[in-house]
Structure 1
Amino acid sequence: AAAAAVQGRDAKHGHQIFLVGFGDSAVKFQVRVWCDPAIYWDVWDATIVAVKKALDANKVPIPFPQLDLHVKQVPERYGR
């Protein structure tokens, strides 16, 4: 539904969504939207924004890698 609302897409050809793989804490999809080549990047950007807003509106979490660093000792020259 998010891709269908994008301005500038070719409604005749619609859009396609594919499951392309699984990653670390991820399910990877590819969204294809047809449009006039002259406005490709505008449509591409609008599609990304529309999908992100739809995920947020439906409370779909997006995991981001996290690294926890535990400092046991700080040399005196760096202060505290």
Structure 2
Amino acid sequence: MPTLDNISVDIMVVLGTTTMPVHQVMRLSRGAIIELDATEQDEVRILANNLPVASGSVMVDRNRIAVEVKQMLPRSPERR
């Protein structure tokens, strides 16, 4: 399928979320720690072009971090 070779897709893995006031965001500096609403055992959301496509889990092997896809999400009718 040569037509698919030139298509770019942005992949994002969401480990967790948090809410904070803008004044706290403005005071963040290098090395700041932002607490998330998740633990290391929680599933992560996998987004393609900002649309949820799968869920998975984080895997750490020495100095490499990866995400294992556990479940593909069903496509909504408008994305078919």
TM-score (norm 2): 0.22
Q: Which has the higher contact order (CA 8 A, sep 6+)?
A: 1
Higher strand share: 2
TM-score (norm 1): 0.22
If you compute each CA radius of gyration, which structure gives the higher value, 1 or 2? 1
